[in-house]
Amino acid sequence: MFRPFVAAVVIAGVAILAAPVAAAAPFKNCTEARSNGYSNIPSSSEYYGPHLDRDGDGIGCES
């Protein structure tokens, strides 16, 4: 009775672990970010990446 449930849970867990991890910052550089409409990206944003923050102040691609 519980075997199909256990099998489904195990399969779901494996699928989650096998899913690709999203990149931390979707932009290679600030030129790419700006061409997509992003500037002054705060470190709390999913679009922020340390490589976009030249002076290390927590704001990427400052205008």
Identify the pLDDT of residue 10: 44
Residue 22 DSSP symbol: P
Verdict on whether the full-model pTM lies above 0.75: no
Identify the pLDDT of residue 24: 54
**What are the pLDDT digits (tens) for 13-53?**
444 444 444 455 799 999 999 999 999 999 999 999 999 99
Please state, as a whole number, how many other Cβ atoms lie within 10 Å of the Cβ of residue 53. Answer: 19
Residue 46 DSSP symbol: T
- pLDDT for 55 beyond 80: yes
34 or 63: which carries more pLDDT confidence? 34
